Amino acid sequence: MPAKLDPWGSMKIENYEKLFAEFGIEPFEKFKEKFKDNRYVRRGIIFGHRDFERIAYAVQKKEKFAMMTGLMPSGKFHFGHKMVADEIIWFQELGAETYVCVADIEAYNMRDIDLKQARKLAVEEYLLNYIALGLKGKNLNFYFQSSYKIPYYLFRDTLSKRATFNELRGIYGELSPGKILSVLTQVADILHPQLDEFSGRMPVVVPVGSDQDPHLRLTRDIAAKLNFILPSSTYHKFMEGLQGGKMSSSDPKSYISLTENPKDAVKKIMRAKTGGRNTAEEQKELGGIPGQCMVYEFFVYHLIDDDKELHEIYHECKSGNLRCGDCKKKCADLMEKFLYAHREKREKSRNVVAQILGN
Amino acid sequence: MPAKLDPWGSMKIENYEKLFAEFGIEPFEKFKEKFKDNRYVRRGIIFGHRDFERIAYAVQKKEKFAMMTGLMPSGKFHFGHKMVADEIIWFQELGAETYVCVADIEAYNMRDIDLKQARKLAVEEYLLNYIALGLKGKNLNFYFQSSYKIPYYLFRDTLSKRATFNELRGIYGELSPGKILSVLTQVADILHPQLDEFSGRMPVVVPVGSDQDPHLRLTRDIAAKLNFILPSSTYHKFMEGLQGGKMSSSDPKSYISLTENPKDAVKKIMRAKTGGRNTAEEQKELGGIPGQCMVYEFFVYHLIDDDKELHEIYHECKSGNLRCGDCKKKCADLMEKFLYAHREKREKSRNVVAQILGN
Q: What is the pLDDT of residues A129-153, one digit of tens each?
A: 999 999 999 999 999 999 899 899 9
At residue B9, does pLDDT exceed 50? no
**Spatial distance between the Cα atoms of A65 and A96, rounded to a whole number of angstroms:** 5
Give the pLDDT band of residue A359 (cuts 50, 70, 90).
low
CA distance B213 to chain A (A): 21
Rg of chain B over all Cα atoms, to the nearest angstrom: 21
Distance CA A253, CA A249 (A): 9
Q: What is the pLDDT of residues A216-275, one digit of tens each?
A: 999 999 999 999 999 999 999 999 999 998 999 889 999 999 999 999 999 999 999 999
Residue type, A63: E
Task: Judge: A146–B160 Cβ closer than 8 Å, yes or no.
Answer: no
List the Cα angle A9/A12/A18 in 5-degree steps. Answer: 115
Residue B153 to residue A153, Cβ atoms within 8 A: yes
Nearest CA in chain A to B115: A154
Cα radius of gyration rounded to whole Å, chain A: 21
For the stretch A193-197, contacts whose Cβ atoms lie closer than 8 Å and that sit 24 or more positions apart, written own/partner, are: A193/A66, A193/A68, A193/A97, A193/A99, A193/A141, A194/A66, A194/A228, A194/A229, A195/A151, A195/A155, A197/A149, A197/A151
Domains of chain A: 14-238 (3.40.50.620), 252-346 (1.10.240.10)
pLDDT higher than threshold 60 for residue A34: yes
- Give the side-chain half-sphere CA count within 13 A for A78: 23
**Among B301, B353, B339, B204, CA closest to B8:** B301
Q: Does pLDDT of B313 surpass 80? A: yes
The bridge status of strand A46-50 relative to strand A232-236 is antiparallel
* pLDDT over threshold 70, residue A13: no
Nearest to B164 among A105, A146, A176 (CB): A176
Q: Is B177 on the interface with A (CB under 8 A)?
A: yes
CA distance A66 to A138: 13
Q: What does the mean pLDDT of chain B come to?
A: 92
Q: What is the pLDDT of residues B224-244, one digit of tens each?
A: 999 999 999 999 999 999 999
Task: Give pLDDT, residue A2.
Answer: 31
**pLDDT in the model for residue A45:** 94
Interface test with A, best of B156, B160, B197, B221 (most A CBs within 10 A): B160
B175 at the A interface (CB within 8 A)?
yes
User: Looking at this protein, which amino acid is placed at residue B143?
Assistant: Y
Handedness of CA A79, A84, A87, A92 (dihedral sign): negative
Return the residue of A nearest to B176 by Cα.
A165
The predicted model gives A328-333 an average pLDDT of 98
Q: B131, B28, B121: which is closest to B74 by C-alpha?
A: B121
Say if B3 is an interface residue toward chain A (CB within 8 Å): no
- Phi, psi (rounded to 5 degrees) for B97: -65, 125
Is the pLDDT at A14 greater than 60? The verdict is: no
Res B14: pLDDT = 52
Residue B95, pLDDT > 80, answer yes
A274: alpha, beta or left, given left = phi > 0 and alpha = psi -120 to 50? beta
Q: Look at residue B11 in the predicted model and tell me its pLDDT.
A: 46
Task: Compute how many other C-beta atoms are within 10 angstroms of the C-beta atom of residue A271.
Answer: 12
Residue B198's contacts (CB-CB under 8 Å, 6 or more residues apart) are B141, B149, B151, B192
Pick from B36, B47, B39, B38: which is nearest to B13 by CA? B47
**Which among B69, B41, B43, B19 is positioned nearest to B205, based on CA atoms?**
B69
Determine the residue among B113, B155, B161, B164 to mutate to test chain A binding: the one whose Cβ has the most chain A Cβ atoms within 10 Å: B161
pLDDT surpasses 70 at B112 = yes
Task: Tell me what pLDDT residue B359 has.
Answer: 67
Strands B66-71 vs B232-236: parallel, antiparallel or unpaired: unpaired
* Residues of B with Cβ-Cβ distance to A108 under 8 angstroms: 157-158
Q: Give me the pLDDT at residue B142, please.
A: 97
Of A328, A322, A330, the residue nearest A270 (C-alpha): A328
What is the H or E stretch that residue A66 is in?
Answer: strand A66-71
- Decide which of A213 and B7 is more confident: A213
Q: How far is CA B346 from CA A110, B82, B133, B351, in A?
A: 50, 14, 8, 10
Judging contacts by C-beta atoms under 8 Å, the chain A residues touching residue B181 are 157, 160, 180-181, 184
- B26 class by beta-carbon count within 10 Å (0-12 exposed, 13-18 middle, 19+ buried): middle
Q: Please give the pLDDT value at position A6.
A: 41
Q: Are B294 and B275 in contact (CB under 8 A)?
A: no
Confidence tier at B179 by pLDDT (50, 70, 90): confident
Answer for the pair A193, A206: CB distance below 8 angstroms, yes or no.
Answer: no
Residue A120 Cα, gap to closest chain B Cα (Å): 18
Selected for mutation to probe chain B from A108, A147, A157, A175 (highest B CB count within 10 Å) is: A157
Q: What is the C-alpha separation between B22 and B10, in angstroms, rounded? A: 23
Q: How many CB pairs under 8 A join A and B?
A: 78
Query: For the residues A45-53, what does the mean pLDDT come to?
Result: 96
Q: Which residue in the set B153, B161, B177 is minimally distant from A178, CB to CB?
A: B161
Task: Quote the percentage of chain B above a pLDDT of 90.
Answer: 76
Displacement of CA A284 from its chain's centroid (Å): 36
Residue A22 has pLDDT above 90, yes or no: no
Chain A contact set for B185 (CB, 8 A): 157
Which pTM does this prediction carry? 0.85
3 state SS of B343: helix
Q: Judge whether A108 is closer than 8 Å to chain B, CB to CB.
A: yes
Quickly state the pLDDT bin for B130 (edges 50, 70, 90).
very high
Q: Are A67 and A205 in contact (CB under 8 A)?
A: yes
CA distance A76 to A125: 6
From A3-17, A107-121, A236-250, B147-161, the region with the lowest mean pLDDT: A3-17
Chain centroid offset of residue A70 CA = 9
* Mean pLDDT score, A304-311: 96
What is the crossing angle of helices A14-23 and A213-225, to 10°?
20
Using an 8 Å Cβ cutoff, are B252 and B80 in contact?
Answer: no
CB B66 within 8 A of CB B202: yes
Between these two residues, A169 and B83, which has the higher pLDDT value?
B83
Cβ atoms of residues B88 and B40 within 8 Å: no
- Of chain A, the percentage scoring pLDDT greater than 70 comes to 96
Nearest-Cα distance to chain A for B113, in Å, is: 12
Quick one: pLDDT band at residue A173, thresholds 50, 70, 90?
confident
Q: With an 8 Å Cβ cutoff, is A84 touching chain B?
A: no
- Is 90 exceeded by the pLDDT of residue A113? no
